[in-house]
Each structure stands twice: as structure tokens, then as C-alpha cells.
Structure 1
Amino acid sequence: MVRAGNPGRLDVVGTAVLSVLAGSLITLLQAHSAGLPAPVTFVVAAAGALAAVGLWWRVRVRSTPDGLSPRRVIASRGFLAAGLIGGTVFAGYYGVLFRALSMIEQATGGGPVEAGVLLVPAAACSVPAGRLVGTLTDRFTGWQGVGRAPALTVIGVLVVAVFTGPVPIVLGTALAVYGFAGAQAVPVSLAPELVAADDRHTAQGLLSFMNVLGGGIGPAAVAGLSGIAPAPMALAVLAALPLSGFVLSLTRRPTADRRPEPGTPRGSPR
């Protein structure tokens, strides 16, 4: 990622700090189920802690104006909420995908090929999902459309977790697909309305990073929980992530929708 105020220059330190923090978190979530040795786990945890302190230093203390995570972007009302909402939806979606194949195999007694074929209808939902998200984005401006993606994802994850048989698993996965499509488009599209025009690309990059981080956390959390709990229970716990995203969409909405009036360039004052 490049610096906001100096395009073309890579913020090496900021990129490294975020990468180490994300990698450490995802590794620690599945350390037990992966059988990671205690010394290695300690090293990973220490690296993650140092990366967290480094990120705090750059944002809160040093306040690097043109770095990867400038404070003015992070502190914008609604920005962190939008990123967390997208990340929780990605976590739910990829967590479901991580377990859906094996759960269908157990339900039908078939192999991975048969399970993959049964999941084709859920995958095909991505085509109408894109159209639906476009329609909803046009109809519900700004923050109004944010809560629909985590709500669909919560329902989808719980359907897969609670009901047995291939049909509920496919249906729940399809609902998660719709939520995932919304999370790809809506939170990131809010960047011009949450930050200043000059910070738009930085904000969109950070929001995309939070989405991808959530996509890694979901399967890692399910894998870690599966080592100590049945898969349905692990998925039920996973549903708490998009549920928290839905709650954030209701409680942390910006004080005003900053979508420009027709004919006004994005990022310009009204």
C-alpha cells in the first residue's frame, strides 16, 4: 500500500506491522487445533503483541500523517464500524465455507466431489447477489444498507449450525453468499462519505484489509473451536461475529449521511 500524501512510495513499516498483527492473530486462533508447539505459540503471540504496540504508536503517538493508518482516517466517525462490519461478514462467510464441505460429506456419506456438486447452487447465488446488492445500493443510500449484509450472514451461519442435512447447509451457505456480496460492496463504498476526499483511497485500502482479515479469522476460529467442540457448536459461536457487526450497524451509524448532493463531486463540501 502507498502513502496517502505521497503516491508511489510504499509505507513499508505500516504494511509490515499490519501484516504481522494479522498473521499472528490468525495463527493463534488455530494454534491448539494445529498442534503448534508452546514455544512457537509464545513467539507468535509476542510478535503479535509487538505489532499491536507498533500500530498503536504509529496511530496514536507518532500519528504518521501519510502512513498506512493515519489517525485522521481511523478516528473518522463510522470508519472503524464500517471496517468491523465488513470483517465480521467475511469471517462468517469463510467460516461457513470452511466447514460446509465436510458437513455435507458427513450428512450424505459421499466424498468431496459430491459435496462440491451439492454446493454449486449456493455458489451460483453470487450472480443474482451482485445484481441485488447493486439495486439495494441505489435504493438505500449511505449507511442505510450496511446492516443487511451481517443480518443475512448471521441467519446463514445459524441455519448451517442448527439444522442437519445437505439442504439446510446449502441454503445457509447461499444466505452467507448474499451477505458476502453486500460486505464486498457497501462498507468500502462508504469511504468517500466517511473521510475527506484526499483520504478516500487510504480508507478504501484499510476497509478492504479489514474485510480480508475477517476472512482469515473466520476459518481460523472455526478450526480452533473444532478441536474442542463439535462443528455445529463452533459455527454457532462463529455467528456471534456477524451478529456483532449487525449490532454495530445499528449503534455506530454516523451522525449524518455525508453522501454528496447530485452534481457535487464526492468529498466536496456541500
Structure 2
Amino acid sequence: MKLCRIPCRGSVLLWAILTQLLLCRNGVFAGNSTKACKLLDKSESEKKVLDRLEPLAGKNLSAVIEVDKESYTYVFQLCGDAGGVQNAGVIQKKTNSEDKPTIIGSYTSTKAIGGSDWVMLIYHNGDKYDNHCNKEARKAIIMISCNKNKAAGDLEVIFEDREKQNDCFYLFELDSSAVCPPVQSQLSAGSIILIIGFCLVAVYLIGGFLYQRLIVGAKGMEQFPNYAFWVEVGNLSADGCDFVCRSKNREEAPAYRGVSADALDEEPEERDDHLLPM
């Protein structure tokens, strides 16, 4: 049994490696990143645009339409084998048919153009037309628009433009939150200051109340932090407001009209010492 322990572990490791290789061959791990896409221009701006679509990687999105009483299924995958077809970003096949699917565009020839809330993904080098567009290679254009409520919406086939000599294309639309701009804070500096002020006041009131009640042992209104100070502040504020805002003469008016205040002043005391007998 001891001699068989090492070969058994080696067999398990070998089976694990073979399983991972098989999964990669079937596209389970190959389609979970945008790195599999090969950009035609290889510019940094296009790489950044493609990185925005990372949440869509590895997902097969399909749509079914009817043309001339024929049903066609379109399958799209971002930087992965659509429908399991190697190097195919978008494929077309007849529904419920065993015919070989048509490659509309390949992710090995990708172009990415982006705006603030949209991305246009272009797959080139699809299968060539038989009788249209001078038999040039097919091309798929996938317009991905912002929709904050959908991680990956339904794939929609808009139309196929093949009634010209060259530059024909298939147009698709898709909604996704991956291309939405990041949400910025709507709070102004004044709002932030007010929120901080309210938080400090709440901490002061709650902390002071607990201290007065649990540590000091105060009861009633005395539980309010610095109660005596705030009562005095109220009185002083009222006095200050009365002193500053009231402009009337503080000397009281006489009780009767026509009598001046000077007449009511106390007359000087008269001395009558000369009337006393000598």
C-alpha cells in the first residue's frame, strides 16, 4: 500500500491537468476575459474601451429572427467562441438545422469604439458572401448601450446591410450596465459640511445625555448636556437682541401731557433758618 501511494497521487494530478485542458479546449475558461480579443489597431484607447466590457465576457447571447419564412439564430460572445465555433465572435445558423453555421465576424479581428455611455464593437473577417458585396468578408457591428438595470440584455438583430458593393455589415444592439459611466456623488461641499455638523451635534447630545445620566446621575432636564450653560445662553441672547434691535428712548415718558420731565425733577430744598426766632 505504501508503494502505491505516490503513483496514485500522480494519477490524480494527471487527471486534473487533463480535465483543465479539456475545459479550456471547449471554451469554458477561454471566454471569460477580453484578452482573447485581438485588436486591429492595438491602441491603448481601444484596450480601455474593451476592458469596460469585461462583465460580458464568456456569455453566449442569442437572438432568433425570421427571414423569408426561414428562421435564423444568431449567437454573440464577447472575445470567445460563439456557439462553440472557434474564433467566431458572431455566428448565424438556421434554427433546428444541422448545417454548418456562418461566421459573421471573428474576435481575432476586433475594433472597439467607445463613448460616455456606449461601446461599438466591430468583428471583421467573417465568412465571405456568396453573391453579395463583391464576395467580401462579412462584418458584425454590435452596438452596446447603457442600461443600469441590466447586466446583459437581450441581443437584437437590427438589419443586414448587403445591398451595396462593399463595406456590408450586420448590425446588432445590446443593453448592458457595463458601459454605463460611474456614478458620481451628487452632494455639494455645503451638504457635506451640514451632514458632518449634524453628526457632531448628534454625538454631542447622545454622549452628553448618557454621561449626565449614567456617570453624574442627573435627572429630568439636568440630563441635557451643559443644561445650565445653554439656559444662560438663551437669556443672554434675548438681552443682546433686545439691546441691539430696539431703538426707543429708554427714559419713561411723563404721565401727563404738557409737563416736561424737567418740571418733575425734585426742586432744591429751601432753607428757612431765617424764620426761626433768634
TM-score (norm 1): 0.19
Higher relative contact order (CA 8 A, sep 6+): 1
Computing the radius of gyration from Cα coordinates, the structure with the larger value is 2
More strand by percentage = 2
TM-score (norm 2): 0.19
More helix by percentage = 1
